[in-house]
Amino acid sequence: MKANDIAVVYETDRIAYQVPARVSKYTPDFKMPKLDGFWYLEGKGLWTVQDRAKHLLVKKQHPDIDIRFVFSNASAKLYKGSKTTYANYCDKQGFRWAHKVIPQAWIDECLNK
């Protein structure tokens, strides 16, 4: 992003979401600019079951918020013995994702703000 002179801010916003029986808050890693507002970028190494559950709740309760993931290994399995990868899971749940690097198309959205 720096090479493209794109200003990003790190963990500045807090998005409220409700976990059954309690209200919780989620802090996205990066807030990225785009033409009609912004989107959030999450950098992920290990993606725990608790983290996946949180993101499903946030997506359900805030369907208008654009959260995207960049995984250090999108081919990692959800858990030992699982056939499902992080990438498969994202596809099934409707999350946008990338492997290791931010796709040029996502960077272009920031440049065209």
Strands 30-34, 37-44: pairing kind: antiparallel
**Cα(77)–Cα(57) distance, integer angstroms:** 21
| Strands, E assignment, 1-113 | 9-10, 15-19, 22-26, 30-34, 37-44, 67-71, 96-99
**Cα(105)–Cα(37) distance, integer angstroms:** 16
pLDDT digits (tens, 9 = 90+) for 52-96: 999 999 999 999 999 999 999 999 999 999 999 999 999 999 999
Please state the domain extents for the chain.
Answer: 2-111
Amino acid 22: pLDDT: 80
Amino acid 113: pLDDT: 63
Q: Is 2-111 in CATH node 3.40.91.30?
A: yes
pLDDT digits (tens, 9 = 90+) for 9-30: 999 999 998 877 788 899 999 9
